[in-house]
Each structure stands twice: as structure tokens, then as C-alpha cells.
Structure 1
Amino acid sequence: MRTSAALLTLENLSVRYGEVRAVEAVDLTVGVGEVVSILGANGAGKSSLLRAISGEAGHVDGRVSLRDVDLLKGPRYGVARRGVAHVMEGRRVIPTLSVIDNLLLAANASRRVSRGSVPGALEEMYAYFPRLRERQSQAAGLLSGGEQQMLAIGRALMAKPDLLLLDEPSMGLAPIMIEEIYDILRARDGILGECSVLLAEQSAAVALSVSDRAYVLSRGSVVFEGQASELDAGRVAAAYLQG
């Protein structure tokens, strides 16, 4: 973590879908250059919390501030323009487009990326994920699950975000692919070294290995939080399973 200055602040954030409350009165911060994990069992509210930040959730109450600007008060498309990139659960690459076209689409759609910087950003993505270079002409829908996850992360980073939201990046992947993806997060160099990360994961051990701090959710509420270096994955898992 480079600084304690807050990039993202959630205040009394609640999310509901009809009569169902998915997130209840959550307070959370992410500092500039910081990696923060949201841990919890399936259904704890992790994905709904990330969706609330990016404008994709149901009914949202509270405040979501990015550099003191309340994202809930502007249009949904304004969230991305202010520097938030969201890699949702399930990857959601465009299957009929090639790998390189998926990457270029994100860069060309972003107002934060100059045309002259696109080739350099593309090379950086290929340095992060050499498999994408090998498959750059291949349709994204033909990639393996792990390769699609790499592409989804690479596509988000092509927009040069200030805040990267990652929802369950390890889900459904082989251990070797999980390690490869998390090695990139551990390195924190290049574009990843210039942005903050809010990471939702069920696996406490893998998330804590790359994080500065962590929040544990149970039934939509924060039940535990602390510095990642001081937390034991087993105790964290027990905290949300008992919440």
C-alpha cells in the first residue's frame, strides 16, 4: 500500500432486490494503491457490494464516494468514466470477438486512454498474460476458463482504471491458473501498480496473500475486518461461517 489516502469510501451502504436485503449498512474504505479483500461464503453479499459500486445493483442506499464524488448520484456510465473497472463473476468476455479485439475495444471505449498509448498498454497486457499473446487472433469464446479470466482482467486494465473491482477471479479455475492470476496481483507493477483493487473472494488464503486489508461479510454485514498480515485464513473462514 503506497498511501492511506482514501480513494473509495462506502458509508452505510445497503443493497436490496425487492424485499431481499443483500448488503446491510456496510462501511468500507480502499486507499490509493491498496488491495482490499471482501471475504465471505457464497451469498454473503460480496457480488452485490461490488455491483453497487459500479452501478449494477438493485436498490442502493447510502453513499459510494470515489475521491469524494458520490457515484450513486450520477449516471451508470459515469462510474467507468471516473476510473472504475469491474470484472464480474463469470468473466463476460465477448465470445465472438478475438482476444485482441476484446482488449482493443476496452481501450478505445475509454476516455482515459490516448490513442498513442494503446500499443504500449496492449504489450503490457501480453507481458502480464503471455497466453493472450499466443491466442490473440482466437475467438474469446474458444479460450479455457482460466484464459477467459485473464482476458477479462486484461480488458479491464486496458481502460487504465484507478479502481479495479474483481469478483471471484479464482472461481472454477484449476489451481495452476489461480496461482498464475494471483502472481500478477502480487507483483503490483505496471498498470496494476497504479490502481487500487477491491477483491471479492470465498478463498481467504489466496485473497489474503495479495491484500493489505480484508473485510469479512456474513449475511450482508461486516463481521470482521483487519490487516491482512495479521489475519489467519482459518480464523477468517470460521468468522464468516459462524456469522
Structure 2
Amino acid sequence: MHLLDITAKAVADICNANDKIELKSVIHSAVQSLGFDSFNLGSEKTAKGQFMTDPTLTNWSYDDLVAYERNGWSERDPLLDYAASSGAPLHWTHATWQAQNRFDYLEYVQSSGLVSGVTVPLLAKPDQISALTLLSWSAREHHKDVTQAAAILGMVATQRAAAIGLISGQTSVGSAKYRSLSPLQREILNWMAGGKTNTEIAVILGQTKRSIDYHVIEILKKLEVSTRTQAAAIFASL
């Protein structure tokens, strides 16, 4: 099928999606039709790290997101900087990171089995970030205009996400605050609600106590509470 036909069908399917599950499914199908394996869509984020720690839609597993943050990539991933820019869609390969002397990131993508990807910064409201990333674990040859097709999918998917209430403050106050937590912080909150101490959580998650202490402070701040009990109450109400 021609790239234009693939893009047209994907746009139609996205526009006809009626809920989060259906939208995620049709985006994934569109991504596969473009020759990629996974996607991550972040819409109306206030910080670049949220693109990976709290994606609007993704087919990454929860464990994958936690591992990504646990390894510190939410603070040093060069693609997050690009996602937050106003640049043109970027089609990257291993050679991209070699040319930029980002051998740390090259080692990460190679160890993850990633071969290539496309990152598309999307139009967003002032002081907000929206972007779409497509990832491939296979050495496929992509059409020269695949970045433009990805940009179209990203814009349409963002609009549809807004239409079905996935962005623009459509969640309850408690849920919205919880969504501001990163996957790792949500995991920590889960253990907090179960009565675990910071020391115990550090052992369970393989983190330092200092790291857990920091995240607990951030959890309380983001949930706008002053005690662990209040944080646990919000968690229980979700």
C-alpha cells in the first residue's frame, strides 16, 4: 500500500476512535503500518520528562516506563530535549547518536534492542509540550516521507485524545494529581499505602534510601498533602 493510502486510512481510523482503548489500538496499527513497533504520545505536558514518565498514550508496559525512569533517562534522554523543541520531525538511527558523540545513549538504545525511531515535536499551548515518538526494533527501510506521515498522525491523535477527554483537564482533581506522578513515584506510593517505610521501599525497588526520600517528598508535593496518610488516602480513592 502506498504511504499516502496508509496515512489516509490511519487518519480515518484515529478520527473514528471512541475511547482510550480504541484510540491506543488504532494508533498502534498505524505505527505498525509505517514500519515501527511501538509509540509514545505525550500531549500538553508541562515538563519534558513527563513525556515518558506520564505519557498520554503508549504501548510501552508499566514496567518499561518504570525501568526507564529508574535508570535516569527521564533526566538525560536527548530525544526528550528534541521533543520539547520546535524542530522538524527527526528520523534517527544508531548513526545519529554516534555522530553526536552520545555514546551513553547509543549504548542504551542498543541494549534495548532499538534500531531506529522518529520523534515529532507537535504544536502545543504556551508552556506545554506535545510530541509523538515511534520506535523500531527491526532493521527496516522506511519511506523517505515517513517523518511527515508521523507528524500527521501525531497531530490527528492529539486532537482525538482531546475530543475523548484524555487531555485538557478532563480528569478529577485527585486523579489529575495522581497522573502528575511518574511511574516510579506511583509504585512508591503504592508501597507507602501498604505501610512500608522508606528503607523497606528502597530495598524492594533496588533504590537508595536517599532516592526514595526524595521521591516521597515529591509525591507529597505533587499530591498537595503534608503526610503519608493523606497521600495514601488519595491513592485509596482512585
Pairwise TM-score range, normalised by the shorter structure: under 0.3
* Structure of higher RCO (CA pairs closer than 8 Å, 6+ residues apart): 1
Task: Name which one, 1 or 2, has greater alpha-carbon Rg.
Answer: 2
- With structure 2 as the length reference, what TM-score do the two structures score? 0.25
Q: Name the structure with the higher helix share.
A: 2
Q: Name the structure with the higher strand share.
A: 1
- With structure 1 as the length reference, what TM-score do the two structures score? 0.24
